[in-house]
Structure formats: C-alpha cells, structure tokens
Amino acid sequence: MNITRLHSRALGILFLLPFFAYGIGTALITSVLSEPGHLAAVAGQRTPFVGGALLLLLNSVTVVGIGVLFFPILRERSPSIAVAYVCTRVMEALLLIVGVVFLLSILQLGESAQGQTTPELETLSKLLSKGNFWAYQLAMIILGAGSVAFCLSLYRSRLLPSFLPLVGAVGYGLLALGSVLELFGLPWGTLFSGPGGLFELFLGGWLIARGFRTVTPAVTA
C-alpha cells in the first residue's frame, strides 16, 4: 500500500486540529456560562459565545474528515471496518452538533430574557446545558467503542509501529468507559480520556512527521 505523504499529513493535521478547535471553543463558552447569573449576561457576550460554538462545529467537520480520509486506507484491509469507522465518526459529529444546538439555544434564551431572568428560565438553561453534556458523552461512547476495531485493523495492517494502535485500542476503550461512568454521575471521564487523547496527539504528530509504512495489503471480509 502506497499512501502519499500529502494524505498522511492531511490525516495528521485533522487529528491535531480538534484539540485546538474543541479546547478553545469549550474555553470560550465555559467562560460565559461559568459566570454567576450567566443567562442575564450571555447576550452581552455574544461574540465569544458564537465564536466558541463555531469552533465546536469546526471540530465536528474535522472528525468526519478523519473518517473519510481513513476510508480508502482501511478498505484495503477490511472494507467492513472502513465503513464502520466512517459511520462512527459521522455519528460522533452529529451528536456533537446536537450539543452545539443546545448551547446556541442558551444564547437565544438569554437574548430573549433581555436581562430579566426568572427561576423558570434558569432551570431551562440548566436543562439545555445538561443536554450538551449528554450529547458529548454519548458521542465519546460511540467514538470509543467504534474506534477499538479501527485500532486493531491498523495493528494488523502494520502501517504503524505495533505499539501505537494497541495503545489506541486501550485508550479508546477507556474513553468509552469514562463517558459511561460520567452518565452515571461518576466524574472520571477526564481521567479516562487521557490515554485516548494522547494517542490521537501522538498519531497526528507521527503521521505529519513520518507517515505510514508501505506494505502489501491482504483483503479480509
């Protein structure tokens, strides 16, 4: 399999870009929602709020791009896993977009309130924020569970050093487990997401700097 350096570098960039897009976007939105009485003030901070939401949407675009660019690579080894991985990334992106819609609904709610908040509006704002939380955790469960087979396919393909996809499989499994625990009220998601996040960072850097190995594919079902 001869994968061009441009293809490898594009994938590497797409793995790294979400860390900046989602991280900065989340920071911007959190800076607004963490303020006391944020619903009354959110309309006055529309620019950072909308900017953060756009960065979160950019993150969703990049994760779909990862699935699309990996499809021809995985298809050489296992067409079924290639399709499943694209579906995993699309479902992840759709759930994250739903989360952004919940956040933008908070902005609309704050603008409609015109600085006059009520207990009912505060409760609705909390429910919308909780909706974003659930959408994110479900997206991470799908990503984690769906990416284990992806990593094992990379391991069998010998396109990368063998330790890297194995670390990824463990990391994605822990990511899914951490999100399940979060949904049950156990705040361990951030801790459990560490290995998977480090895998994606290292994989992105590796693809930019070194790219894939050249091997002869063996098609499986």
Give the model confidence (pLDDT) of 21-37 as tens digits. 999 999 999 988 887 66
Q: Are the CB atoms for 2 and 214 separated by under 8 Å?
A: yes
Give the mean model confidence (pLDDT) for residues 139-151.
96
Distance, in Å, from the CA atom of 159 to the CA atom of 21, rounded to the nearest integer, reads: 28
Give the model confidence (pLDDT) of 51-61 as tens digits. 999 999 999 99
Instruction: Look at residue 215 and tell me whether its pLDDT is greater than 70.
Output: no
Q: For the whole model, what pTM was predicted? A: 0.90
Radius of gyration of the chain (CA): 19
129: buried, middle or exposed (CB in 10 Å: 19+, 13-18, 0-12)? middle
Query: With the C-alpha atoms ordered 87, 90, 96, 98, is the resulting torsion angle positive or negative?
Result: negative
Instruction: Look at residue 217 and tell me whether its pLDDT is greater than 50.
Output: no
Widest Cα–Cα separation across the chain? 66
Percent of the chain topping pLDDT 70:
93
Instruction: Look at residue 133 and tell me whether its pLDDT is greater than 70.
Output: yes
Instruction: Look at residue 2 and tell me whether its pLDDT is greater than 80.
Output: no
Any idea which residue has 């061009």 for tokens?
Answer: 4
Distance, in Å, from the CA atom of 69 to the CA atom of 86, rounded to the nearest integer, reads: 9
